[in-house]
């Protein structure tokens, strides 16, 4: 009897093991293979503005194809769109015939026509430069010349580095043209009487990579799994390394999105339609997710699970992720209920002041009312490698990526199977 009992136990054991293997959500081998490909030096940091990112797009498309998904947009799994890249060159600002040094003025929008009656403003020595700057910029209906006290010269130089980057706009959604603003360091009462600049524009093609797994009984209800596959490209070298590989940000999330696609395809019981998308150009203004969101009916999107930086333990420890904008819908709560009794947990975003809910690709759909949240484990307040050349695969904890994928796979199951519908987010605009 004893013997029989033991062998019974053993049999039970081996059955459990093979069952577990068959239903494994993901494998360490797949995770490291995808991560190492996306974060390899060959991709040159996956800048959305450089051709090397095409290799990453092709790789993700080949994974979707191998999994057996259907293309969401173009036949080759890409969702192609165009942006316009504008560079301002040869800017000149003169006061009484004398050119101002480049770091002492900031000209935004079209060049100010000196003959136009523009509003003359000033930022005095006792005013808060950042606050006044924002006030003036927010008033976009007036053309303004703003005399800035020399005390704020360092601030102006810093804002110039931030604001005079190339302007990139979606061709399908041209930005409202900014009324000219000219900030310049001068004595009170001095006004520029000559300005000029040359603008060059370049059209660029960009690609999201997107696949679809049609729902069995609710094909018009979509659940989106997403991550951005672009990163920040090449930086000034540190220890002879200049490539920002973006292993955590966001090759880790992209890997998770691909592995979830593989899992749900194998599971083959999604009543809702699942859309898997790797966004481009998140780092330079979320253009990929903007284009994607502008071309889908948000009312059909039941939930969006966006995944960002899951390569290191969260402040809540292993097996736990946080959800940005946790209380804006009940998606996080539903997913937490679905993992109750397991080792996994979902937590409200602990970095409230960082405004993470509106800082990633979930933001555009969330603004349109979709329960669209970002799932992360990043300790964003103290991660020294964030946006540096040190964000490499060797600094990541593969087990944390694996458990994050498992947590999301289990947490989202009721939504994928059409049994749970999260509440909507309050719309920011109509
Ligand atoms: Zn990111």
Identify the H or E element spanning 383: none
Q: Using the mean position of ligand 1's atoms as its centre, give its distance from the Cα of residue 118 in Å.
A: 40
Please report whether residue 20 resides in a domain.
no
Please report whether residue 168 resides in a domain.
yes
Q: Using the mean position of ligand 1's atoms as its centre, give its distance from the Cα of residue 253 in Å.
A: 9
Which tens digit of pLDDT belongs to each residue from 18-32? 344 456 899 999 999
Which residues does residue 144 pair with via DSSP β-bridges, in sequence order? 119, 181
Q: Using the mean position of ligand 1's atoms as its centre, give its distance from the Cα of residue 228 in Å.
A: 7
Q: Using the mean position of ligand 1's atoms as its centre, give its distance from the Cα of residue 226 in Å.
A: 12
* Residue 16 binned pLDDT confidence (cut-offs 50, 70, 90): very low
Domain-terminating residue out of 192, 212, 232:
192
Closest CA to 48 of 382, 282, 331, 355: 282
- One domain for residues 222 and 329: yes
- One domain for residues 38 and 174: no
Q: Using the mean position of ligand 1's atoms as its centre, give its distance from the Cα of residue 219 in Å.
A: 30
- One domain for residues 168 and 272: no
Q: Is the pLDDT of residue 270 over 60?
A: yes
Largest alpha-carbon pair distance within the chain?
105
- One domain for residues 339 and 384: yes
Burial 114-131 (b: 16+ CB within 10 A, else e): eeeebeebebeeebebee
Please report whether residue 90 resides in a domain.
no
DSSP three-state, residue 201: strand
Q: Using the mean position of ligand 1's atoms as its centre, give its distance from the Cα of residue 15 in Å.
A: 41
Please report whether residue 19 resides in a domain.
no
Please report whether residue 428 resides in a domain.
no
Q: Using the mean position of ligand 1's atoms as its centre, give its distance from the Cα of residue 147 in Å.
A: 37
Reported in sequence order, the residue ranges of 316-385 that DSSP labels E, i.e. its strands, are 320-323, 345-348, 372-376
Closest CA to 270 of 308, 225, 306: 225
Which residues does residue 88 pair with via DSSP β-bridges, in sequence order? 199
DSSP three-state, residue 216: coil
Q: Using the mean position of ligand 1's atoms as its centre, give its distance from the Cα of residue 27 in Å.
A: 23
Distance, CA of 34 to CA of 256 (rounded, Å): 9
- We report the CATH number of the domain holding residue 398 as 3.40.630.10
* Domain assignment of residue 230, given as a range: 26-83+204-416
Closest CA to 361 of 398, 405, 306: 306
Q: Using the mean position of ligand 1's atoms as its centre, give its distance from the Cα of residue 179 in Å.
A: 31
Q: Using the mean position of ligand 1's atoms as its centre, give its distance from the Cα of residue 406 in Å.
A: 20
* pLDDT of the residue at 6: 43
56 contacts: CB under 8 Å, gap ≥ 6 = 38, 43, 46, 229, 230
Q: Using the mean position of ligand 1's atoms as its centre, give its distance from the Cα of residue 309 in Å.
A: 7
Domain-terminating residue out of 140, 167, 192:
192
DSSP three-state, residue 38: helix
Number of domains in the chain: 2
Which tens digit of pLDDT belongs to each residue from 79-127? 999 999 988 888 999 999 999 999 999 988 776 766 667 788 999 999 9
- One domain for residues 379 and 321: yes
DSSP state letter for 151 = G
- One domain for residues 270 and 290: yes
Paired sense of beta strands 78-95 and 272-279, if any: unpaired
DSSP state letter for 317 = B
- One domain for residues 284 and 327: yes
Please report whether residue 424 resides in a domain.
no
Q: Using the mean position of ligand 1's atoms as its centre, give its distance from the Cα of residue 389 in Å.
A: 14
**Where on the phi/psi map is residue 387: left (φ > 0), alpha (ψ -120 to 50), or beta?**
left
Percent of the chain with pLDDT over 90: 73
Q: Using the mean position of ligand 1's atoms as its centre, give its distance from the Cα of residue 246 in Å.
A: 8
- One domain for residues 305 and 165: no
- One domain for residues 297 and 396: yes
- One domain for residues 79 and 125: no
Which tens digit of pLDDT belongs to each residue from 201-241? 899 999 999 999 999 999 999 999 999 999 999 998 888 99
* Residue 177 binned pLDDT confidence (cut-offs 50, 70, 90): low
Count of Cβ atoms closer than 10 Å to residue 430 Cβ: 5
* Cα-Cα end-to-end distance for the chain: 71
Q: Using the mean position of ligand 1's atoms as its centre, give its distance from the Cα of residue 57 in Å.
A: 16
DSSP three-state, residue 2: helix
Near ion ligand 1, which residues have CB within 5 Å? 249-250, 308
Q: Using the mean position of ligand 1's atoms as its centre, give its distance from the Cα of residue 360 in Å.
A: 7
Please report whether residue 430 resides in a domain.
no
- One domain for residues 269 and 346: yes
Which range of 6-10, 177-181, 192-196, 279-283 scores highest in mean pLDDT? It is 279-283
Domain-terminating residue out of 125, 159, 192:
192
Please report whether residue 8 resides in a domain.
no
- One domain for residues 251 and 375: yes
Q: Using the mean position of ligand 1's atoms as its centre, give its distance from the Cα of residue 372 in Å.
A: 16
């Amino acid at each position: 009897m004893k013997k029989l009992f033991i062998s019974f136990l053993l049999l039970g054991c081996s059955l459990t093991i093979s069952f577990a293997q068959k239903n494994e959500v993901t494998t360490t081998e797949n995770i490291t293979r995808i991560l190492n490909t996306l974060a390899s030096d060959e991709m040159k940091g996956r800048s959305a503005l450089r051709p090397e990112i095409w290799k990453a797009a092709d790789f993700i498309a080949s994974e979707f194809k191998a999994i057996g998904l259907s293309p969401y947009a173009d036949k080759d799994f890409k969702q192609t769109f165009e942006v316009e890249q504008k560079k301002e060159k040869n800017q000149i600002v003169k006061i009484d015939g004398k050119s101002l040094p480049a770091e002492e003025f900031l000209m935004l929008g079209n060049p100010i026509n000196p003959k136009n009656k523009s509003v003359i403003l000033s930022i005095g020595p006792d005013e808060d430069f950042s606050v006044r700057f924002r006030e003036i910029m927010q008033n976009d209906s007036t053309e303004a010349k703003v005399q800035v006290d020399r005390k704020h010269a360092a601030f102006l130089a810093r804002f110039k580095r931030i604001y005079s980057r190339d302007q990139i706009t979606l061709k399908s959604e041209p930005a409202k043209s900014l009324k000219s603003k000219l900030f310049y360091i001068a004595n009170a009462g001095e006004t520029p009487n000559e300005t000029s600049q040359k603008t060059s524009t370049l059209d660029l093609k960009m690609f999201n990579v997107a696949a679809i797994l049609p729902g069995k009984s609710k094909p018009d209800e979509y659940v989106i799994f997403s991550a951005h596959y672009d990163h920040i490209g090449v930086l000034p070298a540190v220890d002879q390394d200049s490539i920002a590989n973006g292993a955590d940000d966001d090759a880790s999330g992209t890997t998770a999105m691909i592995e979830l696609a593989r899992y749900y395809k194998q599971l083959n019981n999604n009543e809702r339609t699942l859309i898997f998308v790797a966004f481009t150009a998140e780092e330079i203004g979320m253009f990929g997710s903007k284009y994607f969101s502008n071309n889908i009916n948000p009312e059909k999107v039941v939930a969006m699970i966006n995944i960002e930086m899951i390569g290191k333990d969260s402040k809540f420890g292993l097996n736990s992720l946080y959800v940005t904008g946790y209380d804006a819908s009940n998606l996080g709560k539903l997913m937490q209920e679905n993992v109750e009794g397991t080792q996994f947990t979902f937590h409200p975003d602990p970095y409230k002041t960082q405004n993470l809910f509106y800082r990633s690709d979930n933001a555009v759909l969330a603004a349109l009312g979709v329960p669209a949240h970002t799932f992360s484990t990043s300790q964003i307040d103290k991660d020294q490698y964030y946006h540096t050349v040190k964000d490499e695969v060797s600094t990541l904890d593969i087990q944390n990526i694996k458990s994050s994928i498992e947590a999301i796979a289990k947490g989202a199951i009721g939504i994928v199977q059409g049994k749970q519908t999260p509440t909507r987010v309050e719309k920011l605009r109509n």
